[in-house]
Structure 1
């Protein structure tokens, strides 16, 4: 990773900062996490951290979801199985131990920070589940799905349902029964008559 001018960035600092952010998030929670504490834990300076991440929220977003699986969901040839995989992966992303601590704060900060909001959208909508529109088109051709569904809107509904369930049920309430029930509910609205 290099900037346009100057020397290349030290990737060891990047790794140390991300690791320190994840550790401290687990120890103190999102509200009490500070860039100064992260820099101290990583053995670097605050300016070095701010050169890489413009805010705590940007840094936490990357630290929490660094290794999150947002790759394309493999097509199975079944709308129900594809949809269940999307719901299951969404639950896994939002209920990991670090995500449980970070997501409420990230949602609040994303509402006021257009750049952070776009990064979250890029990770979970654009990067995540590439090929969903193709899965939906194939389901239309198989007669499983009515025409006219937008994969992005479907993801928003799945993510929104999962976030609401986190608020009302808590992370432990998004188990297999919730996934099955949510998948059935979505299928009832999507299926071709």
Structure 2
């Protein structure tokens, strides 16, 4: 959401707009979704929506992923289990019913909208996985991970594999077996003991 000077924003409008966007996305899909329809459903005006989000893609991004919290990396002390958890959480995030409808359109729009591209990067590679750098440092200190491994590259590999699999297999193709296979391939590349 964008910051606004002046009187405080009404959080009820924010919630109503996000709820309306999610509901309409489910009903009409990304391509046919409009800010006007979202505003009408939310009982507010288009200017009120545009004061909060610069456009449909930014709004849909927030509506689809507003409850997604990837900031906490659950450390079990086992690189195998922890990396598998990251792959599984990413697969779940990208294959939710709303993500299935929104992600192709968001990727297309992010290619031509630098601010949307940055928001997606922040969510999936930056702040979204903010605990990953610390986790990788701990794994390196334990001797489980090759020194100098880049968290952003790891996430690019996980997210890229998930997006490619969605395109090739469909969202239903990101099964437990897929998660196990991708985790194993990644571990063979990053584990210091292999």
Aligned to 1:118: 118
Give the superposition deviation at 1:169: 0.4
Bigger CA drift: 29-38 or 139-148? 139-148
Q: Superposed, which structure 2 residues align to 1:4-23 within 5 Å?
A: 4-5=5-6, 7-23=7-23
Secondary structure, aligned partner of 1:41: helix
Bigger CA drift: 34-43 or 138-147?
A: 138-147
**Counterpart mapping for 1:25-44 below 5 A:** 25-44=25-44
- Kindly state the Cα deviation for residue 131 of structure 1 after the two structures are TM-superposed: 2.3
8 Å CA contact 1:2, 1:9 repeated in 2: no
How big is the shift at 1:144?
Answer: 2.0
Check the 8 A contact 2:25/2:33 in 1, yes or no.
yes
> Counterparts of 1:150-189 in structure 2 under 5 Å?
150-189=150-189
Deviation at 1:4, TM superposition (A): 1.9
Distance 1:126 1:67 in 2: 17
| Two-structure CA RMSD over aligned residues (Å) | 1.4
Task: Measure the CA separation in 2 of the matches of 1:133 and 1:15.
Answer: 32
CA deviation vs aligned residue, 1:159-191 (integer Å, no higher than 9, x gap): 000000000000100010000000000011112
Q: Are the counterparts in 1 of residues 71 and 131 from structure 2 also a CA contact under 8 Å?
A: no
Deviations 1:27-70 (A, max 9, x none): 00000000111011111111111111111000000000011122
Q: TM-score scaled by structure 2?
A: 0.94
Shift of residue 78, structure 1, vs aligned partner? 1.1
Gaps of 5+ in 1: none
Alignment gaps of 5+ in structure 2 = none
SS at match of 1:146: coil
User: Which sits farther off after the overlay, 34-43 or 120-129?
Assistant: 120-129
Residues 3-36 of structure 1: CA deviation (Å, up to 9, x unaligned): 322x221111111111100000000000000011
- For residues 109 and 148 of structure 1, the distance between their equivalents in structure 2, rounded to whole angstroms, comes to 33
> Deviation per CA, 1:110-159, whole angstroms, max 9, x where unpaired?
11111111111111222222221222222222222221210111001100
Aligned residue for 2:147? 147
Show the counterpart of 1:47.
Answer: 47
Q: Which residue of 2 aligns with 1:3?
A: 4
